């Protein structure tokens, strides 16, 4: 495989892998076999992951995305097809999907999504530059300001999680999450500032020691979030930090992932997953169904594959899902409605909490499909989440899944270029990558949800103001600012 010059050429093994997956998919559709279509989808995911691994210098974000795709959308039916379906699991291959035909259709949709990712990688141009970017005069001030805000917001973030855990312990997971979501505005801004300051610190290219300490603190805070019985924050924090450190290994020639470190992490994985499974059991959504050393791995993979039902429900409830809601862009539509209402003084649609009105009149597929599947549970706070595959399917059909996934294939492959760019490019890429990892289980525009939220839009000026104060307090930066003002005065 050619790596490093223009679009990467496919190898014979890749071609054979794609061909074999197509044959399996065709046989599965012809015989209406959920097992064959599951293996076809898993094989194609392996092919996409394989080419991303071989081309990892520019495609490691795509590799991370494929891992999340398999985890959230394929793992449950693949594990059950291979190791057997637990007796307490419902539906075909334990997916809670009633008919085999529906699971065949769902696997076909997932196959289209993976095909689009592969096409997006294939058409992307040259790899990211390997040279280390130069440091600008503003970087030291950004590092100091970001580190200060990051340390300052850690206690507030921990307090927010602890408060949410107390509420959940008192009211139960689903009702407690609804109550905890209505946190005071200053805590929501502090939470946004915690993430934004961390991304800004990393984008300012800290030393190896600074990167190790900040990334370790970020992952530990993510681990602390497990007391709220939510696992996604910890998983995403580990995924983002792993991608960043691997980027540093490629760009700065630092050794973060040696052979023995990787072996050690893999050996510890079953124990870490056992903790994650314990958190899931506290929510009442996980029952141990396997035994042996790999039991935590199998149980974890089964518990994470819930989003496949969301995609299948797009077929099952196609006749009752409201039309013209444009779920693929739902969070942005609702944010724009609120912003327009605020600017014009008009009445914005009241789309808060989990109510029938919120589910039917809103633009977020996670609310709509959760209400249609289980109306009573939904208003109590239960939800099934979303998936970009399901949203594209409802809005644009099969062609939408393919094209929308190809867009992500292109953007994820190009992300290595912007990670190696200047401060703003790296900062924006880190913010978007955190949301991108959750796209298989979230909205198509998930990467934009947090950066464009009101707390984030408040936190960004706070970061900029802190950087300005730090620069003004530094003798060298004061001189640089005076010279900049003189140049601007001389050339208005």
Q: Say what the pLDDT of residue 127 is.
A: 57
Overall pTM > 0.85 = yes
**How many Cβ atoms are within 10 Å of 202's Cβ, its own excluded?**
27
Q: What is the pLDDT of residues 256-267, one digit of tens each?
A: 888 888 888 888
Place 210 in a pLDDT band, splitting at 50, 70 and 90: very high
Q: Which helix (H) or strand (E) holds 262?
A: helix 259-282
Tens-digit pLDDT profile for residues 43-76: 999 999 999 998 888 899 999 999 999 999 999 9
Average confidence (pLDDT) over 300-321: 86
Q: What is the pLDDT of residue 268?
A: 82
On the CB side of 472, CA atoms within 13 Å amount to 7
Please, are residues 73 and 308 in contact by the beta-carbon 8 Å criterion?
A: yes
**Which phi-psi region, left, alpha or beta, contains residue 344 (left: φ > 0; alpha: ψ -120 to 50)?**
alpha
Average pLDDT over residues 125-137: 60
Question: Cα 321 to chain center, whole Å?
Answer: 25
């Amino acid at each position: 495989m050619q790596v490093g010059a223009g679009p990467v050429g496919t190898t014979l093994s890749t071609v054979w892998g794609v061909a074999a997956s197509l044959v399996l998919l065709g046989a599965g559709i012809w015989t209406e076999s959920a097992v064959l279509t599951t293996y076809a989808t898993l094989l194609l995911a392996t092919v996409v992951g394989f080419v991303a691994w071989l081309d990892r210098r520019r495609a490691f974000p795509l590799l991370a995305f494929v891992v999340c795709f398999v985890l959230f959308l394929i793992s449950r039916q693949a594990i059950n097809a291979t190791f057997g379906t637990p007796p307490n699991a419902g539906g075909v291959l334990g997916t809670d999907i009633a008919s085999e035909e529906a699971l065949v259709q769902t696997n076909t949709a997932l196959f289209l999504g993976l095909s689009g990712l592969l096409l997006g990688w294939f058409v992307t141009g040259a790899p990211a530059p390997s040279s280390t970017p130069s440091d600008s005069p503003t970087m030291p001030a950004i590092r100091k300001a970001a580190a200060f805000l990051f340390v300052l917001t850690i206690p507030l973030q921990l307090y927010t999680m602890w408060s949410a855990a107390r509420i959940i312990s008192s009211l139960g997971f689903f009702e407690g999450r609804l109550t905890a979501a209505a946190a005071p505005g200053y805590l929501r801004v502090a939470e946004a500032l915690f993430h934004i300051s961390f991304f800004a610190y990393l984008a300012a290219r800290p030393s190896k020691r600074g990167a190790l300490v900040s990334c370790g603190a970020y992952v530990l805070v993510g681990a602390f979030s497990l007391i709220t019985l939510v696992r996604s924050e910890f998983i995403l924090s580990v995924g983002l930090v792993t991608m960043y450190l691997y980027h540093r290994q490629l760009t700065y020639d630092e050794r973060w992932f040696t052979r023995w470190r990787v072996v050690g992490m893999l050996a510890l994985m079953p124990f870490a997953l056992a903790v994650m499974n314990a958190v899931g059991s506290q929510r009442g959504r996980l029952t141990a169904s396997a035994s042996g050393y790999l039991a935590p791995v199998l149980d974890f993979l089964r518990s994470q594959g819930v989003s496949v039902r969301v995609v299948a429900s797009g077929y099952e409830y196609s006749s009752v899902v409201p039309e013209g809601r444009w779920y693929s862009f739902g969070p942005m539509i609702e944010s724009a409605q609120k912003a327009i209402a605020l600017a014009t003084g008009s009445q914005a649609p009241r789309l808060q909490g989990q109510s029938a009105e919120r589910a039917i009149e809103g633009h977020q597929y996670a609310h709509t499909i959760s209400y249609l599947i289980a109306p009573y549970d939904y208003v109590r706070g239960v939800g099934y989440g979303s998936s970009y595959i399901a949203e594209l399917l409802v809005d644009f059909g099969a062609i939408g899944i393919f094209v929308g996934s190809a867009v992500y294939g292109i953007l994820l492959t190009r992300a290595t270029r912007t990670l190696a760019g200047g401060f703003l490019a790296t900062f924006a890429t880190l913010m978007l990558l955190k949301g991108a990892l959750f796209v298989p289980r979230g909205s198509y525009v998930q990467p934009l949800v947090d950066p464009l939220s009101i707390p984030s839009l408040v936190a960004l000026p706070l970061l900029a103001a802190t950087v300005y104060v730090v620069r003004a307090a530094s003798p060298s930066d004061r001189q640089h600012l005076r010279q900049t003002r003189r140049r601007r005065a001389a050339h208005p």
